[in-house]
Amino acid sequence: MAKVFKRPDSEYYYARFTIDGKETWLSTKCTQRKQAQAIAEGKEQAARGKQNVDDYFSGLMALISRMPTEEQDIKRNEYARRLMQGQSHTLPVAAAWQAWLDSPLKGNPGQMTIQHYDAIWRRFATWIAKVHVEYLHEITEAQAQDYIADLWRSKVSPRTFNGHTKFLKSMFKVLRVKAGLVANVWDNIKTMDKETQSRHNFTPAELKTICSRAQGAIRYMIGIGLYTGMRLGDVVPLKWANIGEDSITIIPSKTKRKGKQISLPIHPVLRTLLDELRKGSGESEYLFPIEAAVFQKDNSAASKGVFR
């Protein structure tokens, strides 16, 4: 068994052991006896050819622990990156979105939800590319925190902030095995408290003002919404095929994945509006062809007031 001792002229412990009649002396470069003993035993085991991977790792960690505190994490991260470069499962950041789309573990989100998630991922992928990260497993928790700080500085609402962080956490969970992720860097990211805003229904006078001032396509959109209760996101992509003699038949986007079709009665006033719109719509299959084309590229366009 290796012995440790100090020389009068040195602050470090030395180790001494004998193998096949040959005595070996070496400095552990350690001032603590317990750590020096562990290093000495590791050196002896290595010399005898009996040291396994775990022994080498323990020795490495002991050496790192003797470094200046500010350098220890840097060295740990450096070795972690070098080890992960040789792992069997890797996934480039550039291929992560398609991998998520192809995975059944993501569930079955609707098309509009997927478009929303796509926008979240594109923002993050653009940001992480600037720090020269190529693979998903190379992304650190510190970088995740830097990203959400950047997201918050962009003055998004708490609701939007939470949506981004929840999706990224979920996405990394889905891709954990395929990407060879040891941990989910989003696990410790906290959500924001949502700010609440009081809302009230429009008064008859307010509705009258809105309808009297609305012009163009938005006038008809408002009319359809008022008389059916449809969301703007369902009104914009309406096709004439959805419009019957007495009812409008749609699959609401919010519950689209359930595939449930509903029929909404057409009020006489709404019928007049639809007939008026039909005369000026040309040959398009859509009630609002221009707006529908924009909506297909960005389903948030309607709520942003693009069609004003």
Structure tokens at 284: 């398009």
Output the domain CATH number for residue 282. 1.10.443.10
Q: Confidence class of residue 201 from pLDDT cuts 50, 70 and 90? A: low
Same domain, 169 and 212: no
Of the candidates 161, 133, 127, 162, the one whose C-alpha atom is nearest the C-alpha of residue 147 is 127
Residue pLDDT, tens place only, 48-73: 766 566 667 777 778 888 888 878 87
Same domain, 54 and 136: no
At 146 the pLDDT is 94
Please state, in angstroms and rounded to a whole number, the distance separating the CA atoms of residues 54 and 207. Answer: 73
Is pLDDT at 99 greater than 60 in this prediction? yes
At 308 the pLDDT is 46
At 157 the pLDDT is 87
Q: Is residue 26 part of a domain?
A: yes
CA 253 to chain centre: 23
Instruction: Share the mean pLDDT of the chain.
Output: 83
User: In the listed set 66, 85, 118, which residue is the last one of a domain according to the structure?
Assistant: 66
At 182 the pLDDT is 79
- Supply the DSSP symbol for 250: E
Q: What's this model's pTM, rounded to 2 decimal places? A: 0.49
User: In the listed set 145, 179, 213, which residue is the last one of a domain according to the structure?
Assistant: 179
Q: Cα-flanking dihedrals φ and ψ of residue 240, to 5°?
A: -65, -20
Q: Is residue 225 part of a domain?
A: yes
Q: Is residue 81 part of a domain?
A: no
Q: Is residue 291 part of a domain?
A: yes
Q: Is residue 172 part of a domain?
A: yes
Same domain, 104 and 152: yes
Return the higher-pLDDT residue of 191 and 93: 93
Of the candidates 96, 87, 78, the one whose C-alpha atom is nearest the C-alpha of residue 136 is 96
User: In the listed set 21, 51, 66, which residue is the last one of a domain according to the structure?
Assistant: 66
Same domain, 100 and 61: no
Q: What are 157's strand-pairing partners?
A: none
Residue pLDDT, tens place only, 159-169: 899 999 999 99
Question: Which range of residues forms the domain containing residue 263?
Answer: 204-297
At 306 the pLDDT is 43
Residue pLDDT, tens place only, 208-263: 677 677 778 888 898 898 889 888 888 988 999 999 989 999 988 777 666 788 89
Output the domain CATH number for residue 143. 1.10.150
Provide, rounded to the nearest whole percent, the portion of the chain with pLDDT above 70: 85
Same domain, 150 and 221: no
Same domain, 208 and 174: no
Same domain, 293 and 208: yes
Please tell me the total count of domains within the chain. 3
Q: Is residue 143 part of a domain?
A: yes
Q: Is residue 75 part of a domain?
A: no
Same domain, 118 and 49: no
Q: Is residue 196 part of a domain?
A: no
Same domain, 173 and 238: no
At 305 the pLDDT is 52
**b (16+ CB within 10 A) / e for 267-302:** eeebeebbeebeeebeeeebbbeebbeebeeebebb
Amino acid identity at 10: S
